[in-house]
Structure 1
Amino acid sequence: MDIDLSALHFLRPLFLLLIPLGALLLLWRRAEVRRRRVQSSIAPHLLKHLLITPSTRARVQPIHLLSALLMLGGLAAAGPTWQQDRPPFLENQAVLLLALDLSPSMDASDLPPSRLEAAKHKMLDLIAREKGLRIGLLAYAGSAHLVLPPSDDPALLDSFLQALATPLIDRPGKDALGAIEQAKRLLVAEKVPGTLVLITDGADASQFAAIGKSLEGTALQVLILAVGSNDTGVLRTADGQPRTDSDGRALLGRFDQAGLEQLAKAADAPLGSLTLDDDDLDWIELHAQRHFAQANPDAGQIHWKDAGYWLTWPLALLALLCIRRGWRLNWLGALLLASGCLLNPPQAQAGVLADAFMTADQQGRWAFDHHHYGKAATLFADPYWQGLAAYRAADYDRALGSFAQLDSAQAYFYQGNIHTRQFHFDQAIAAYEHALKLQPQFPEATANLALAKALQKDHDDAAEKAPDTKPDQVKFDKPKNKGDARKVETQQASSDELWLQNLTTSPAKFLRQKFSLQDAARQAQGTGARP
């Protein structure tokens, strides 16, 4: 561990006053002992001139260890530091939103295999690079739609990103303004600043004036990542065949460089381009970091690593040395240990020592942070954390019982998740709706509500189409009551926000149905997508 002495300082320097206090206590004790030995036979005014420091080493006494504890403890409490503690990128607080253009021009082949596939590959690289960062997905063509609320689950982001294709949105156009409005609503719900990256090959000139007004006074930063080259690309189908018009001529997808430059000017947004290396990813990360630091002054503050905790080990050793027969200091440790046992009586299976120094919820949080969810569910006394631990452990009956004790949006959200996993769609829909009633701005509940409704429709349609036939013969491979009973543990999804990969429907099918329903609802309300 390198120590930069030029940067060495103390976070709490007032605690350094304990060091001279310990030294003075030791010096006073030594002088007091010598004075008591001879003060009965020598006059006080002569005593100070006759005292001589003994050359023999005195044995260690409690006062010596107490002085050492004061001096070393003062140094530790003062917080010596020489190294800055810079948290990881945005520390899971900021939001990065990726809006992918799904208009037909993105199928052009000037970037192999296509502009869309090249953009998706670059987005996957960004997701893999920024582990722990909450990333949301949007898609737009003639209308803009939310694909996935901000999530830090790479597998979930990957499953939805792979499903994105140009046929998902029927309405033609490039509704960048709609994507910006969707991003603004997400940031209002998240209550954090964020960055929106428009990944596109062109722009709609009729939206430029409205885009500038929409971004005035918002905490949203817009970046534009151009996808394409100056060469005109041939549009291709999903199987790689060129698209042709009625006369058999190949359709071309043009890269609108001038339109993108005007879009960047209207949105006051930096304009970058897709690259073969990681320069474009560095560009996105740099702008996102700067924006977050400007929007959150606290994020730009310098934090220093407190190295004083390393001194707790010698402090603990000194405290143990104080526990000796005949020393009065040893009663202090016994008193602290006894009071801890009385204040925290044994309640859990974590051991007498853990019960003496940690509450049940503290023990449960330790087990939860170390991914021992089943054990944490038995330790927690708080119903929310107990239910969350049971949910992570796939113990859904216990989780439902815990969440049922609460009247909060999060509790109803997890109840909806559990009911959907158990294919109780009516109860799941009711739980999601109750969560949205308590917290209207709840993107995860909104998305899962739409998913539950879609799954219920698929389930009902499958039930109606199933033939009503009876088997000719029923055979059992085991005698009655002789079957094998065994416990099957299911793998828990790595994200609690959305868990589509655990359900029997494809992301592409769900997204296409969702986008179609949203477009139909907008047209019915007279608030359709912008031209």
Structure 2
Amino acid sequence: MNLSLAIEMFHFLRPLWLLLLPLIAIAWWMARRQNRKPAQLLDRIAPHLHKALTVGDSGHRRIEPIDGVALLLALACLGAAGPTWSRVPDPFVAQTAPIVIALKVTPSMETDDLAPSRLERAKQKIRDLLDLRAGARTALVAYAGSAHAVVPMTEDANVIHPYLDGLAPDVMPSEGADALAAIALAQSIIAKEPTPGGILLVADALDRTEAGSVIGAEGTSLAVLSMLPTGTNDPGLDAVDIPVIEASVDDSDVRQIDRQLNAAYQRALTESGNQPWDDRGWMMAWPAMLLALLWFRRGWTMRWAHLWLAAFVLAPVPEARADGITDWFFTPDQQGRLAYDRKDYEQAAELFQDPMWRGWALMRDGQYDEAATVFHRVETPDASFAEGLAHIRNRAYRDGIKAYETTLERDPDYPGAAENLALAREILDYVESAREQSDTGEDRGIGADEVAFDNEDNRGADTEIEADEASGGELLTTDQWMNTVDTNTGDFLRQRFAIEAAQQAGEVPQ
């Protein structure tokens, strides 16, 4: 989370515990005052006798055991008060903002002062950003003299890669660099999203006359990735009142962009989120534990240390484990949460013992069938709702409908269950209707040995598709299938952009 936002949202969940802090301060002051009395009495003795009667350091010790105890109690009060500045992540809501990447595709971007070229380096940075934001919703816009949506909002970065590779100046229908049109198109895409998002403008220059008009909409973050060599300035980019990040040789620029574009989204999740606040009081335990180590020093043990010893002896002994040092300090669920926050969902699913969190991790990792199985074992409305979502993402619409029906049986007022049930039924009806219209009862050889479609409702004709004997019954790989396509993405984008430009100019009907 952004540091300024964390500071703004900082508060205590149980602030009444803070009332003990003045009492701790008073007790500490009285104890220090009491401990100084013997030293004050020695000060009344003659200097030569004082020196003879004093063993060791004649000065009063600056730090005493009561200081450590007072600080330890203060840390305990702060921890009990529940400091927090963020909410518990909602596994059903993406923690990364949806963004639209607007890439400048002009001849100037083919300059090779950034090897291999500004355009190719920009594509590399976009790929790095997609990898960093794995699973987040991203759209791609290309612009030159006109702006065009290349890929709509998608969570699958693999969909963007081939179209990104096909972008080149010769596919753009008109010359120029209309950044304002690209930003306007990006804002129209973001406006369709239910949550705030961000826009990233990837360019090597900006028209100075447009610089004052380059502003983000309310609730939308806007940033520029400058594709210029270090030390090279552009008047237009220098004049804009938005963050401009220079392309770096490492991924520091990409990480800075991700933080910048996430600012508005994180603020919206924090301010209007329904999730409980994340209690960070446990963080106070670490400095308290380090401070407690001072009690092992000679002369620092307090009188009530025997109580700590008794509590240690009477405490139940946990089951011995030797999995690693991490197990000494974190439970499996805590380790799973750390892996989940790192977006290592596969490892998180292996670590979590809590079935709900394990199911969420499996679903974020794309293991929808396994996630649905885990959710099915928990008999709560939350679990059946999550099971329905996993089935829908796995395109098992019938199972999803059953799961949503179970949710409504367990809780008729469960938020979103009725709406999702209706939507799942509409999707299933559409799939069945499309299948019914396409069924002819004829066999078609398309490279599969045998394909059987689900037809529980007995709609349409039962069809079996058998492989062509000439093909040997072998399925084509993805690369083999792509090699059979004559038209590459660059040719496709050139034709599509030309049609869109003609429609915008009114030369052909929409």
TM-score for the superposition, normalised by structure 1: 0.45
TM-score for the superposition, normalised by structure 2: 0.46
